[in-house]
Structure 1
Amino acid sequence: MPANSADAAAGFEVVLIKAGRTKIRYPARLVGDDGTRVTVRAAWASPGVRDFGFVRFEPGDVFTEHYWRDRWYSVKEVRAADGSLKGWYCDITRPAGVSGTVIVSEDLDLDLWRSADGTDVFRLDEDEFAGSGLTESDPEAARAAMTALDELETLARGTDFEALLS
């Protein structure tokens, strides 16, 4: 059901699951929900700085996070405290579960980064995915995850990437 203006101010909680355990929970503000995609905004939820080499996530960063109920990924637009765009961090996940004001996203160990100018696109954590055992325990999910990563990489290298989020 689409969000109305009263819903848009509602507090949400994002729960990220990895390997069957809650990795992190954090508060977020609902931006919109069209019934298929729910979008929330949240501050960087981990303590301190996380430096990937190609980008740093740090206190003050703001994430606009897009979760789909029917797609095997989520996309997070990352902005610095001054509002400048750092880029997009994409998690390969099972389709999001949304119940009331809780979004549950199960991380499948594959990630993709797209820089703000679109010139750098990196596939991440393929070694973690290979070691996760998903290809043996749930081959259908593993195939869906790889298909989603390939799809996102194609979108990220093209000019239609930002249209995905509008």
Structure 2
Amino acid sequence: MPARSVEVVLVKAGRTKIRYPAEVLADDGTRLTVRAPWAAEGVRDFGFVRFEPGDVFVEHYWRDRWYAVKEVRSSDGTLKGWYCDVTRPAGIDGAEVVVEDLDLDLWVSADGSEVLRLDEDEFQASGLAASDPEAAGHAVDALDELELLGRTGLRALLG
């Protein structure tokens, strides 16, 4: 039986930022796990990690949590770490997974020595706190939860 595929659609500020195909690995009704190759053009160098052609992402999306966690491996299978996006809960409808990016991100290195909060300035500039204070509160809480998990047990969450 062939693997089921979905299209992941990342939306930011009401516009589609990127869309790409992914293979479904598991779906327990709450969390959907997919695998996808690095979908952007070329190399993206963040300084603390490089995403590049050949990298493979195992992505975890929750229907009831305000974040997504992406395990990042190089083409040879070496774990680079986890890139965590603060998002609204994923909308999963058959062959499409729609995720709204709320700007806040977290990086956890493979060995756990680096846990970096990212894009807090973008989040402030987005105006979400004024336009949707409830969502902004969920976003800040989600980043705090991810940081704690990054320091204590991200692997357990994904296990």
Between the aligned partners of 2:92 and 2:29, the Cα distance in structure 1 is 10
Q: Give the structure 2 partner of residue 125 of structure 1.
A: 119
Equivalents in 1 of 2:52, 2:36: separation in Å? 13
* Percent sequence identity over aligned pairs: 72
Supply the distance in 1 between the matched residues of 2:6 and 2:135 (Cα, whole angstroms).
Answer: 27
In the alignment, which residue of structure 1 is the partner of 2:157? 164
1:40-119 matched pairs, under 5 angstroms:
40-119=34-113
Q: Give TM-score scaled by structure 1 length.
A: 0.94
Which runs of at least 4 in structure 1 moved beyond 4 Å after TM superposition? none
Look up the equivalent residue of 1:120 and give its one-letter code: E
Distance in 2 of aligned mates of 1:32 and 1:119: 29
Q: Which ranges of structure 2 fall in alignment gaps of 5 or more residues?
A: none
> What is the alpha-carbon distance in structure 1 between the residues aligned to residue 134 and residue 128 of structure 2?
9
1:161 Cα shift? Answer: 1.3
* Residue 16 (1) aligns with residue 10 (2): yes
Take 1:16 and 1:91, find their aligned partners in 2: how far apart are those partners?
10
Instruction: Give the count of matched residue pairs.
Output: 159
Could you list the runs of 5+ residues in structure 1 that have no partner in the other structure? 1-5
Question: Cα deviations across residues 68-120 of structure 1 (Å, max 9, x unaligned)?
Answer: 00000000000000000000000000000000011000000000000000000
